[in-house]
Amino acid sequence: MSIKDTIHSLITDEGATHKRLIEYVTGQLHQGRPLAEVLEDPYVTNRLEPMERRALLEEPEVVAAAQGEALDDLRAHLEGLAAS
C-alpha cells in the first residue's frame, strides 16, 4: 500500500481514538504550542505510530489550527520515521 493510500485509510477512520487525538492536537495548537512539539508529546506518541501521526497532518481541523506552520517538513519527517 502506498503512503497516500495508507494516509487516506487513516484519515477516514471514524474511531474515537483518532478523533480524540485530533481534538488534543488542535487544542494544543490553539494554546500556542508548535505543531512539531505537540506531535512529539507522549500522549500522542504512545497512541500513534509515525504514519498515523503523519495522517493527522491531513485532517482539515489540524491544518486550519496549524495556520501555516511547516507542514511539508513535518510530513516528510514523519514519513521518514514510518519508513525506517
Using a cut of 0.85, tell me whether the model's pTM lies above it: no
- For residue 37, what are the contacts with CB-CB under 8 A and spacing of at least 6? none
Give the pLDDT of the chain (84 residues) as one tens digit per residue.
Answer: 677 776 666 666 666 788 889 999 999 998 989 898 999 999 999 999 888 888 888 889 998 888 766 677 777 888 888 887
Distance CA 61, CA 81 (A): 23
| The three cell numbers locating residue 22 | 485530533
Q: Are 56 and 48 in contact (CB under 8 A)?
A: yes
Domain extent listing, the chain: 3-83
